């Protein structure tokens, strides 16, 4: 496709090629929409009772998507359809990278903005995020911004050719962007409800992945970090860094992390530290616990992220809660299914260690609900906080049901929901209309900086196939209803 489009561009010029590409999009979209088949009978009833006896209905596309334009609905169906094609998802990173090399930037950007980037990213700057937040607010949805600062251990070929001072400078710049994101989150919140302003970020933005892996190797005992004080974990990481000759680098990372935490505290914004690959997660968890022990005294400021697809997830959650109880700080966490499945399994095969992820989607879902139940019960009797970040309807229903049973008020902030921007919109919009605190996780950045994120989202959509089919069907039904209405006018 890239070669064909590139050749067409050379023959007809940018404007003619864009017209041809637009016609191709229309053909693909029309084929996607008109060949969709009704799948509703294969799904359970989507309504769930709320605390006031009303029903929260995820099926009512007319109400749920009232604020969405026809073009936005059509684009959503197109992107979800592409995510169901295994060959496309498996090679999505290579295809996007190839497109970057072969296509003129104008043409590549045109394609991305009308598909994945336009669906999943609000834009490249703060003004576009603010505009998105205003649009979401109409539907009772809040925005949780996150700077798109992706990094991996496999990128070390770039690190080795970069001077240490230059790399530290880039991490300092990343830390500043995280602090800018926190200030953005403060602007998005209301002055009377500042504790519900939230921002997310990754520790690989301010620590080298190689360092986090090294620190993790000195922490793990029997597959998990032990129940001990966060200060002890800090001392263990210091010792590992000193023995490896990277103590100054560790201190630089801690300096950046403290600056970020102080910004969260002073701006009264909740900071969600994203989970990452298992080879660096023990260090990430320990650093978060250390920051929670310092900043989560009055109310949760710093939030951990728990990945339910890991076989160790429930034990990890118990350890975190035990450390919080022993140390005396308020525990806040975001529960996710996990977004690195393909890469984690590939790494386990390459390095011949057991697959850390549950083999079945149903096992992950059951683990997710068990962890969520523990955290909801904790939030109901303390000042703890939990964010149920899930695209699984059944887990959302479970969360709503347990909130009702535990008398957790919808707007209390003790339990909130979240979904990725551009994904699972039928659930997000229904929760917003139902008066629940619900957020759209909204990573922002230019097209080049968000490609890895977009590929991971495509993979996550593919692995959650049943939910994607259902969302696509609801979107298709609403598109069909609107088209029928226009034809009868």
Q: Are strands 48-49 and 55-56 parallel, antiparallel or unpaired?
A: antiparallel
Cα–Cα distance measured from residue 212 to residue 337, given in angstroms and rounded to the nearest whole number? 22
In the block, residue with structure tokens 């929760």 = 431
CA distance between the termini of the chain: 39
Cα–Cα distance measured from residue 476 to residue 81, given in angstroms and rounded to the nearest whole number? 11
Q: Which residues of 130-145 are buried (b: 16+ CB within 10 A; e: fewer)?
A: bebbeebeebbbbbbb
Environment class of residue 158 by beta-carbon count within 10 Å: exposed (0-12), middle (13-18) or buried (19+)? exposed
In the block, residue with structure tokens 């937040």 = 133
Please write the tens of the pLDDT for every residue from 288-297. 999 999 999 9
Q: Which helix (H) or strand (E) holds 32?
A: helix 2-34
Length of the chain in terms of residues written: 489
**Which DSSP state fits 41?**
G
CA distances from 260 to 72, 183, 405, 449 (A): 35, 11, 37, 21
Cα–Cα distance measured from residue 97 to residue 302, given in angstroms and rounded to the nearest whole number? 35
Give me 342's structure tokens.
Answer: 């393909």
Cα–Cα distance measured from residue 239 to residue 247, given in angstroms and rounded to the nearest whole number? 8
Instruction: State what percent of residues in the chain have pLDDT above 70.
Output: 82
- Using the predicted structure, report yes or no on whether residue 326 has a pLDDT greater than 90: yes
Under 8 Å CB-to-CB from 103, ≥6 apart: which residues? 2, 5, 6, 9, 111
- Using the predicted structure, report yes or no on whether residue 46 has a pLDDT greater than 80: no
Lowest mean pLDDT among 219-233, 308-322, 462-476: 462-476
Q: How confident is the model at residue 154 (pLDDT cuts 50, 70, 90)?
A: very low
Give the distance, in angstroms, between the CA of residue 386 and the centroid of all CA atoms in the same chain.
15
- Using the predicted structure, report yes or no on whether residue 95 has a pLDDT greater than 50: yes
The closest alpha carbon to 464, from 415, 427, 429, 417, belongs to: 427
- Mean of pLDDT values over 12-18: 52
CB 291 within 8 A of CB 305: no
Coil, helix or strand at residue 167: helix
Q: Is the dihedral of CA 174, 179, 181, 182 positive or negative?
A: positive
- Using the predicted structure, report yes or no on whether residue 86 has a pLDDT greater than 50: yes
Coil, helix or strand at residue 415: strand
User: Which neighbouring-strand residues pair with 304?
Assistant: 333
pTM more than 0.75? yes
CA distances from 237 to 244, 250, 257 (A): 11, 8, 15
- Using the predicted structure, report yes or no on whether residue 341 has a pLDDT greater than 90: no
- Mean of pLDDT values over 42-58: 66
Cα–Cα distance measured from residue 198 to residue 274, given in angstroms and rounded to the nearest whole number? 13
Cα–Cα distance measured from residue 182 to residue 197, given in angstroms and rounded to the nearest whole number? 9
- Mean pLDDT computed over every residue of the chain: 85
The closest alpha carbon to 186, from 177, 196, 176, belongs to: 196
CB 257 within 8 A of CB 203: yes
Geometric angle at alpha carbon 348, from 82 and 97, rounded to 5°: 35
Please write the tens of the pLDDT for every residue from 137-146. 999 999 999 9
Q: How confident is the model at residue 81 (pLDDT cuts 50, 70, 90)?
A: confident
Q: Is the dihedral of CA 356, 362, 363, 367 positive or negative?
A: positive
Cα–Cα distance measured from residue 62 to residue 278, given in angstroms and rounded to the nearest whole number? 41
The closest alpha carbon to 379, from 388, 368, 391, belongs to: 388
Under 8 Å CB-to-CB from 278, ≥6 apart: which residues? 310, 344, 356
CB 80 within 8 A of CB 475: yes
**Quick one: pLDDT at residue 2?**
39
Most confident option among 102-106, 114-118, 369-373: 369-373
- Using the predicted structure, report yes or no on whether residue 1 has a pLDDT greater than 50: no
- Mean of pLDDT values over 198-208: 96
In the block, residue with structure tokens 């008066």 = 435
**Quick one: pLDDT at residue 454?**
85
């Amino acid at each position: 496709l890239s070669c064909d489009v590139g050749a067409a561009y050379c023959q007809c010029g940018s404007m003619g090629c864009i017209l041809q590409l637009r016609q191709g999009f229309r053909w693909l979209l029309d084929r996607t929409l008109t060949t969709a088949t009704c799948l509703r009978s294969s799904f359970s009833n989507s309504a769930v009772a709320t605390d006031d006896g009303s029903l929260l209905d995820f099926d009512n596309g007319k109400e749920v998507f009232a604020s969405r334009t026809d073009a936005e609905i059509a684009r959503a169906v197109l992107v979800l359809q592409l995510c169901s094609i295994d060959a496309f998802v498996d090679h999505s990173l290579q295809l996007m990278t190839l497109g970057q090399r072969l296509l003129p930037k104008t043409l590549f950007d045109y394609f991305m903005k009308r598909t994945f980037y336009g669906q999943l990213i609000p834009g490249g700057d703060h003004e576009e995020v603010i505009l998105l937040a205003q649009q979401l607010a109409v539907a009772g949805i809040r925005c949780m911004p996150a700077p798109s600062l992706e990094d991996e251990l496999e990128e070390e070929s770039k690190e080795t050719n970069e001077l240490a001072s230059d790399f530290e400078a880039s991490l300092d710049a990343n830390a500043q962007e995280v602090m800018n994101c926190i200030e953005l989150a403060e602007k998005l919140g209301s002055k009377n409800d500042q504790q519900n302003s939230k921002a997310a970020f990754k520790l690989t933005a301010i620590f080298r992945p190689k360092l986090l892996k090294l620190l993790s190797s000195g922490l793990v005992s029997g597959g998990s970090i032990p129940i001990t004080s966060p200060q002890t974990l800090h001392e263990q990481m210091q010792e590992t860094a000193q023995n490896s000759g990277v103590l100054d680098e560790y201190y630089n990372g801690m300096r950046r992390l403290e600056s970020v935490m102080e910004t969260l505290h002073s701006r009264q914004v909740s900071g969600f530290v994203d989970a990452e690959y298992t080879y660096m997660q023990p260090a990430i968890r320990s650093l978060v616990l250390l920051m929670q022990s310092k900043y989560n005294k009055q109310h949760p400021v710093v939030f951990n992220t728990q990945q339910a697809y890991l076989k160790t997830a429930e034990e990890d959650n118990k350890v975190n809660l035990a450390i919080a109880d022993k140390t005396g700080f308020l525990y806040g966490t975001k529960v996710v299914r996990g977004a690195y499945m393909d890469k984690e399994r590939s790494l386990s095969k390459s390095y011949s260690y057991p697959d850390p992820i549950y083999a079945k989607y149903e096992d992950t879902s059951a683990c997710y609900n068990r962890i969520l139940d523990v955290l909801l019960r904790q939030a109901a009797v303390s000042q703890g906080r939990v964010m149920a970040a899930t695209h699984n309807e059944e887990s959302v229903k479970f969360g709503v049901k347990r909130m009702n049973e535990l008398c957790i008020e919808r707007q209390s902030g003790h339990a909130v929901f979240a979904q990725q921007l551009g994904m699972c919109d039928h659930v997000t919009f229904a929760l917003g209309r139902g008066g629940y605190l619900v957020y759209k996780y909204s990573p922002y950045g230019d097209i080049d900086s968000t490609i890895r994120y977009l590929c991971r989202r495509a993979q996550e959509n593919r692995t959650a196939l049943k939910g994607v089919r259902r969302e696509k069907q609801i979107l298709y039904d609403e598109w069909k209803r609107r088209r029928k209405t226009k034809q009868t006018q």
